[in-house]
Amino acid sequence: MNQHANLHNSALADHAYRVRRNALVMAETQGQGYIAQALGVADVLTVTYFHAMKHRPDQPDWEGRDRFLLSVGHYGIAHYAVLVAAGYLPEEELPTYALDDSRLPMSGMTSYTPGAEMSGGSIGLGLPMAVGMGMGLKRKKSKSFIYTLMGDGELAEGPTWEAAISASNYRLDNIIAIVDFNQVQADGPSMKVMNTEPVVDKFEAFGFYVQRIDGNNLSALVAAFDRAREYAEPKPRIIICDTKMGCGVDFLEGREKSHFIRLGEEDWKRAYEALDKGRSK
């Protein structure tokens, strides 16, 4: 890696730290929540928003923007964390997370939050929505990409595969799907709840350009997003990101039953300390 890339990644690492910290502030507001997912996907979202996407935080409806669709609505906490870091929302709103009249509801919705392009939460809507927007952008001769973030559990949803067939049929090379493959879903380990492997083979068979990478490695993420954007063939793209739930806060990493975590007051303090300690390593 050259020096320029190192500098670039160091800036990204700062952003990733900020995204994680923002998520902790929101989770602490509620004392519980989807904090392990937010910490796990922080690097993916950091690279999406601070490296890959073309966007204007002060102009969320800018026609030339790349679109970002949060399919996993409960990742709202992670999405707001990066939206705040990127400047879509002021930091002061973080402690309103999931409170009444907040612009940061527990499950992401387009009408609530600047920069939220879809109402997810009913799982399996992201890729189908990307298909419609992909068709629309092609009609407009737009060069914009549509990024959609899905969870690994979501791969069991039928509409995801309806959309996969169609994205390939319509050669929607403006779709870059992202799967946060963190191996955990509501009822337990994802591959025990429903084994969707071999995921790479499946998406390749459905006509996608597939990459599978370490989703907590900023350099790997940067390279994968670059390849996805620059890939020449008219195929939809997907990046399977293997991530670690709770990444960056050691005592949350690899914790069992991490889909929805409740912590005491002291533990939240410990979490910030752990995050800072990990950063200084």
Binding interface with another protein (CB under 8 A): 109-111, 117-122, 124-125, 128-137, 139-140, 158-159, 162-163, 165-166, 169-170
Minimum gap (Å) between residue 223 Cβ and another protein: 29
Nearest approach, Cβ of residue 132 and another protein (Å): 2
Backbone angles phi, psi at 211, to 5 degrees: -130, 145
Nearer residue to another protein within complex by CB, 160 or 243: 160
Whole-angstrom distance, CA of residue 269 vs CA of residue 264: 9
Assess contact for 69 and 129: CB atoms under 8 A.
Answer: yes
CA-to-CA distance for 158 and 10, rounded, in angstroms? 40
- Separation between Cα atoms, residue 84 and residue 245, nearest integer Å: 21
Rounded Cα gap, residues 88 and 198, in angstroms: 37
The smaller minimum CB distance to another protein, of residues 124 and 236, is found at 124
Comparing CB distances to another protein, the nearer of 102 and 148 is 148
- Name the minimum Å distance from CB 63 to another protein: 9
State the nearest-atom distance from the C-beta of 257 to another protein, in Å: 28
Nearer CB in complex with another protein: 51/171: 171
User: Which distant-in-sequence residues (6+ apart) come within 8 Å of 108 by Cβ?
Assistant: 70, 73, 75, 76, 79, 116, 118, 119, 120, 121
118 versus 239: smaller Cβ distance to another protein: 118
Task: State the minimum distance, in angstroms, from the CB of residue 160 to another protein.
Answer: 9
Output the smallest distance, CB 168 to another protein, in A.
12
Q: Which is nearer to another protein, 126 or 246 (CB)?
A: 126
